[in-house]
Amino acid sequence: MKNLFSDKKTIAILTIPSIAIIGFAILAPLVVSLYFSFMEWAGFGAASFIGLENYRQLLLNDATFYRSLFNTLLLMVVTIFLQNPFAFVVAAILTKLKDSLSRTLRTIYFIPATLSLVVVTKLWTNIFNPSYGFLNKLLQNVGFGTVSIAWLSDPRTALGSVIWIMVWQGFGWALLFYFSGLMTVPKELEEAATVDGANKFQLYTKIILPYMIPVIQSVIVIDVISSLKQMEMVYLSTEGGPGDLTQFIAVYLYQKAFRYSEYGYGNAISVIFVILAVVLTVLIQRLFAERSPLSRRKSL
C-alpha cells in the first residue's frame, strides 16, 4: 500500500475522477455562465454577442440590483452580529444545564432547521397574514385592537419580516455548531484559568472564544454563502415585493433569467454573485487567520 501511494502516476490516475467531477459540476457551468453573460439571449433561439453591455447595465443603471445587494448584505449583518452572538449565548447556557434538559431544549431549538423551507415559509406567511394571522390576533387581544398590519406587504415591515423568517429557520444550525464547539473546549483550560483568578467574562473572552475561532469562522462563512443564495423563502413569501423592497440577489437572478427571459443578463448577475461569494469568503478567512492563536504562535 505504501509503494502504491508513493507512485506519482498512481496518484495522478486516482485524482482524475474527482477532478473530472469538479470540472463537470463546477467549472463547466461557470464557464458557460460567463460565456452567456456576454450575450443577449432569451434562453432559446439565437444569441447575439453584446460584450460588456450586460455588466454596464447591471453595475451602472440597475437600481434593483443594488437594492438586492443591500438586502443581502443586511441579512449577513443580522445573522453575523445578532443571530450568532445570541446562538452562542444560548449554547453556552445549554452546556451548563443537565444533560436531559439540555438535550430537550436543543431538540426544540433545532426543529425549525429540520423543516422544509416551503413549510417554514407557509407557516410564517399564515402567522403574518393581516386577516387571520396569529400575530395580529395576538396584538388585538393584548389591547392593540386597531392594529392590523400586512406584515409581508407593508413597506415598513416587509423586509424585517422576511429576514425574521430566515433567521428563525437558521438559528438552530448556528446553535448546533456553537454547542458542539463549546463541548470540545478542554476542561483543563477552563479550570486553569479559574485557578489563576479569571472571572466568567475573562474565561470566555480570553480562553473559550480564541479556542473556538475555527468554529466561528466556519459559521460566518456559512452565513455569508447562505445569505447570498437565499431564494426560496423570499420567492414564496413576497417574490421580492412590495416593489423591490425585499429583493435578494438569488431571487433577482431567477426572475431575470426565467420570468423575463433575459438569460444573458441573469448570467451576468450570476457571475457577480460568484465573484462576491469568493471575495467575501477569502476576506473572512484572512481576517480569522490573522486573529487565530495558531497564526500568532507561528509569528512569534
Residue pair 241/153 in contact (Cβ under 8 Å)? The answer is yes
Average pLDDT for 124-130: 93
How many degrees, rounded to 5, is the angle at CA 53 between CA 47 and CA 55?
110
- At 224, the amino acid letter reads V
Residue 184 CA to residue 122 CA, distance in Å, equals 37
Task: Give me the percent of the chain exceeding a pLDDT of 90.
Answer: 60
pLDDT at 55 over 80: yes
- At 74-119, the pLDDT tens digits run 999 999 999 999 999 999 999 999 999 999 999 999 999 999 999 9
39 pairs with which residues across the strands? Answer: 49
Residue located via cell numbers 455548531? 177
What's the rounded Cα separation, in Å, for the pair 288 and 272?
A: 24
**Amino acid 297: pLDDT:** 47
Model confidence at 189, pLDDT cuts 50, 70, 90, reads confident
pLDDT on residue 109: 93
Residue 203 has pLDDT above 90, yes or no: no
**Per-position b or e across 178-204, b if 16+ CB within 10 A of its CB:** bbebbeebeeeebeebeeeebeeeebb
**Cα 140 to chain center, whole Å?**
34
Return the bridge partners of 49, or none: 39
Place of cell 419580516: 161
- Which phi and psi angles does 177 have, rounded to 5°? -60, -45
CA-to-CA separations, 191 to 64, 187, 259, in angstroms, rounded: 54, 6, 60
Distance, CA of 93 to chain centre: 24
According to the model, what pLDDT value does residue 300 have?
A: 44
pLDDT recorded at residue 299: 46
Q: Which alpha helices (H) appear in 184-243, and where do they start and end? A: 187-195, 200-202, 209-211, 213-228, 232-237
Neighbouring residues of 15: CB distance < 8 A, sequence distance ≥ 6: none
pTM: 0.88
